[in-house]
Amino acid sequence: MSTELLSVSPPNGKVASLHDSARGSPEPLDGFHELVRDINFILGPSNGIDSAGVDVEELKHVLTQYDTYDADWDRYAFADHSRAYTRNLVDNCNGKSNLLILVWTPGKGSPIHDHANAHCVMKILKGSLTETLYAWPCQSAGDAAECAASPISPGHNTEHTCSFRGAFESSALKIKRSTTYEAGGVTYMSDRLGLHRIQNPSSDEFAVSLHLYTRNIPGNPFVKNYEFQYNFPTWGPCNVTMTSVIGHLQSHDFEGQFRYWNSCDPSQLFDARIDTFVEDDKKPIAKNIETQARYNQILFIWTDCDREGEHIGSEIRDVAVVGNPRLRDAGKTVRARFSNIERAHIINAARNPVPLDEAQAHAVASRMELDLRTGASFTRTLTMSLKPLIVTPGSDENRIVSYGSCQFPTLGFVVERYFRVRNFVPEQFWKIHVMHEKDGIKVNFRWARNHLFDRMVVVILFERCLQAKTAKVTKVQTRPTSKWKPLPLTTVELQKCGSRFLRMDSHRVMKIAEDLYTKGWISYPRTETDQFDRGMNLQALVQKQTQSRQWGQFAQNLMGGGFQQPRDGRNNDKAHPPIHPVNFVEATALNQEEARVYEFVARRFLACCSQDAKGTKTEIGISYGPETFEASGLTVLERNYLDVYPYDKWTSSQELPRFQAGEVFEPTEAMIKDGKTSPPGYLTEPELIALMDANGIGTDATMAEHINKIKERAYVETRPRARRARQDGDDDEASDEGEAPEPEAGRGGRGDRGRGRGRGGRGGGANNTRNSGASGVQEFIPTTLGVALIEGYENMGFETSLAKPFLRKEMELKMKAICEGRKTRQEVTAETIAQYRAVYARSQQRMDVLKASVRRYVVPAAR
């Protein structure tokens, strides 16, 4: 017995490519396979039956010309007395059509059905079949003309005869014609002609027919139906139809009376009814799933194995059960659990289906409802209250002042740093500097106290050092050290590195990464996972990179014995592997930005598969009077991953002279240097992403969208960040990693004067400023409106501020509680709505505070 199974994959049908259909090897002398060859020739590399370059009559002609011979096609014909008919794949054609043989049980037939906007040419190979053509049911409550003209009518602009609306029973549908086709007969069917039903009129003989289907789903070239056969341990041999979706199928909005800005008080949106519906551009996709579900016994979901994927899976099930209510029964809807698309991993997932995780789906549903209610209520209130103050003659009268539970905390981070910079007051500090020259090498020793803010204390300590006259070497230590190779690439890390190294903002780098994924060059770029599954064949991926003229030799060295398993990070979302190249592509085949992002992903992956850089670090400690000082030096011995990953820096410092423990010397130079603390820089995009990640604001997939939203709303502006000036107050030593240390926020040194005594005299400190101009990393500056919004809400004095991340972080913890079964969707939704409703009510009472903030910052700037 063969089972009919509908399988639904992620956007763009990526999983479908893993289940290649049973494409036969045509035999040139076989008449049936000559027909298959001719059909492929007519369709060409990319056409469907309905394509402009294809003549349906030509297809019908070649089918008519074929003289059927059972021995040619009987290998594809499998009968099953327990079913009305079986569908058996012959050829996948050009990827746009399927060629199938259907075997019809005596006296049985298909249900009345449409073709989900597909086209079909049918030839009877054996026996006879009766086709009954029905008029489409009315799609409008009005008259027939209105119905036929409706753009949502499947029979749009075609011959239209009204049947009872919504009926798919033969007693209610009007029959247009009934035709019996004998062996050799050919017919054509599409939704433009109506609904139809095929039956085997014989009471004792099987009938066999050949069907050529176009699989395209209108509205999206990536959504197709693939048909193949697979033997599942759970269900046995199955005919599988694999299709796909493009993200969420369903949308949510308030019912009609609440959708318009002035239709109600915004506070009513906390309780208003929410409708769930399919947008017009998704209706063909939903219709395809509904139609395919009618003929299938199992629904097998292959969406991403994360919260969002579970919810999309539940949407697919909701659409499928419209066509086949039995799919709600226990065990009839299942999902595949997978995290990468290695062949063995996918086969294991196919053999071990699991139920949909309803708890995760409920968590997403709760979050979507909360985001809609809170976002709409606060956005309408803010816009209607502040619009008279911010809209000036000549400005955009449709300007929206929006609120989002992720959007506002993101803006809050930017404004908080802005005020830290503006309100910074520099403090003067003093430090003791010691330098000694030995064997022609000058060694600068760092004071263990770094610097102090009390000049008198520093002077006293310095005088004690001078009284001692000599310094003594207390430690000489040389030890191996390493610079660790990077962790596998996550979405958050890609966004931060894109800004830091590629000079692209997070929204842009994610758009390019999505394009590279769609084209098949890199893996799915939205992932929290920073560890590769041990079962993945990483060396096969490395092998593909040996073709590169830039890093191919490094990849070849890895294949020659240098390969090492990547480090494991702490995160695994169980949905996607880390971002990595899946195929090699020459830079000339990509545009400039795509080439840069692909190069970064490829180099990062190869670096992960290499070895840590190795070196030695020498540390020298001295005591000078009561104070201690240190100097260190780095020698890089093996660069390893650094040879392919230029984004990390780790270089040898100047070689230190040989010192012996217990050695005594008089320092060449000792002096007091002074300086001032410098303010922190404005927030950069990598820093902002790190803050959002640490505080649970957004997901790896949405952080870039939230950042882009506060730009679109003109709450912030960006500009290239100037490099920080490096002053005498900063240490000259490089860090262990060979990079100049980042200045501490609020404690970076800036000194320009020195006083002290070298051997035989006093010395002055030189000004050692370095500034090489703009770095290219973008920094965020809030606009007057952005500052006004955050300061206004902060000045309201609420314990729970909308400008802080705590409300959203608490919401995310509640979503986790739903997933773990500790709370229900209803409980979390009710609790959170009550919390936001209270904040809304208090903010309404103190709206004058927010307006005062806008008048302070925005109104003067607009004049």
The yes/no answer on whether domain 22-216 falls in CATH 2.70.50.60 is no
**Alpha helices, H only, 671-717:** 685-694, 703-712
pLDDT band at 176 (very low <50, low <70, confident <90, very high): confident
Give 767 or 335, the one with higher predicted confidence: 335
CA–CA gap between residue 772 and residue 790 (Å, rounded): 34
Q: Where in the chain is the domain with CATH 2.60.120.10?
A: 22-216
Catalytic residue chosen out of the listed positions 524, 624, 682, 857: 524
pLDDT at 59: 86
pLDDT higher than 90, residue 96: no
Average pLDDT, rounded, for the chain: 84
113 is in an annotated binding site: yes
Beta bridge partners of 718: 780
CA–CA gap between residue 717 and residue 710 (Å, rounded): 9
pLDDT higher than 70, residue 699: yes
Q: What is the pLDDT of residues 180-213, one digit of tens each?
A: 999 999 998 877 777 889 999 999 999 999 998 8
Any catalytic annotation for residue 69? Answer: no
pLDDT band at 9 (very low <50, low <70, confident <90, very high): low
pLDDT higher than 70, residue 785: yes
Which SS3 state, helix, strand or coil, does residue 200 take?
coil
Q: What is the pLDDT of residues 139-151, one digit of tens each?
A: 444 444 444 444 3
Q: What is the pLDDT of residues 454-471, one digit of tens each?
A: 999 999 999 999 999 999
pLDDT higher than 80, residue 346: yes
115 is in an annotated binding site: yes
Q: Is 0.75 surpassed by the pTM of this model?
A: no
Percentage of the chain lying above the pLDDT 70 cut: 83
**Alpha helices, H only, 435-525:** 455-468, 491-501, 506-518
CA–CA gap between residue 541 and residue 604 (Å, rounded): 13
- Determine whether 484 is exposed, middle or buried from the number of CB atoms within 10 Å of its CB (0-12, 13-18, 19+): exposed
CA–CA gap between residue 187 and residue 844 (Å, rounded): 68
Q: What is the mean pLDDT of residues 549-569?
A: 96
Q: What is the pLDDT of residues 592-626, one digit of tens each?
A: 999 999 999 999 999 999 999 999 999 999 999 99
Q: What is the pLDDT of residues 564-586, one digit of tens each?
A: 999 999 998 888 899 999 999 99
pLDDT higher than 60, residue 661: yes
pLDDT band at 655 (very low <50, low <70, confident <90, very high): confident
CA–CA gap between residue 458 and residue 760 (Å, rounded): 22
Q: Where in the chain is the domain with CATH 1.10.290.10?
A: 491-588
Cβ-contact 130, 170 below 8 angstroms: no
Cβ-contact 193, 120 below 8 angstroms: no
Determine how many CB atoms are found less than 10 A away from the CB of residue 797: 10
Which SS3 state, helix, strand or coil, does residue 107 take?
coil
Give 629 or 291, the one with higher predicted confidence: 629
- Determine whether 770 is exposed, middle or buried from the number of CB atoms within 10 Å of its CB (0-12, 13-18, 19+): exposed
pLDDT at 681: 92
Which SS3 state, helix, strand or coil, does residue 221 take?
coil
pLDDT at 265: 93
Instruction: With CA atoms as reference, report the closest residue to 318 among 250, 245, 223.
Output: 250
119 is in an annotated binding site: no
Q: What is the pLDDT of residues 363-388, one digit of tens each?
A: 999 999 999 999 999 999 999 999 88
pLDDT at 218: 61
- Determine whether 352 is exposed, middle or buried from the number of CB atoms within 10 Å of its CB (0-12, 13-18, 19+): middle
Q: What is the pLDDT of residues 277-310, one digit of tens each?
A: 999 889 889 988 998 888 789 999 999 888 999 9
Give 323 or 1, the one with higher predicted confidence: 323
Give 769 or 246, the one with higher predicted confidence: 246
pLDDT band at 738 (very low <50, low <70, confident <90, very high): very low
CA torsion, points 187, 188, 192, 193, in degrees to nearest 10? Answer: 0
pLDDT at 800: 79
pLDDT higher than 60, residue 425: yes
Beta bridge partners of 300: 7, 334
Reported as half-sphere exposure (CB side, CA atoms, 13 A), residue 190 has a value of: 16
**What fold does the segment set 491-588 form as a domain?**
Topoisomerase I; domain 4 (1.10.290)
Cβ-contact 571, 487 below 8 angstroms: no
pLDDT higher than 70, residue 253: yes
